[in-house]
Amino acid sequence: MSGAANPHRGEASILVNGSQYLLRPSFTALVAAEEELGSLFALVERAGEGRLKLSEMSALFWHCLEQQNSISRDQIGEAVLESGLAKCAAPLRAILIQILQGAG
């Protein structure tokens, strides 16, 4: 578990196995996500067009996870599946807004 998300920093949280985990889209996290997923602009476009894959959402959440060593990547994917896309839309939106607008 981690602290409360600060929406002014583009942070969000995700429920995994009954505990909230902080998603922090730091520069390092987003660079790692981009290395795996390709251009973040293209990722945002796919999301806007409804073409974002479940695996891409899970990977983005994994890279932004503050405490990666406390849960597995598979647990993130299972949490996304268990929560459903509707509940995952809010943290996804927060991260995508951070990518597009930054903290300013």
Phi-psi region of 21 (alpha: psi -120 to 50; beta: other; left: phi over 0): beta
Percent of the chain with pLDDT over 90: 74
Is residue 20 left, alpha or beta, with left meaning phi > 0 and alpha meaning psi from -120 to 50? beta
pLDDT at 1 over 80: no
Residue 103 has pLDDT above 80, yes or no: no
* pLDDT tens per residue across span 62-102: 999 998 888 999 999 999 999 988 899 999 999 999 888 87
- From CA 38, how far away is CA 64, in angstroms rounded? 15
The DSSP output letter for 17 is T
Cα dihedral sign for 68, 70, 92, 97? negative
Average pLDDT, the chain: 90
Handedness of CA 71, 15, 21, 93 (dihedral sign): positive
With bands split at pLDDT 50, 70 and 90, how would you rate the model's confidence at 104?
Answer: low
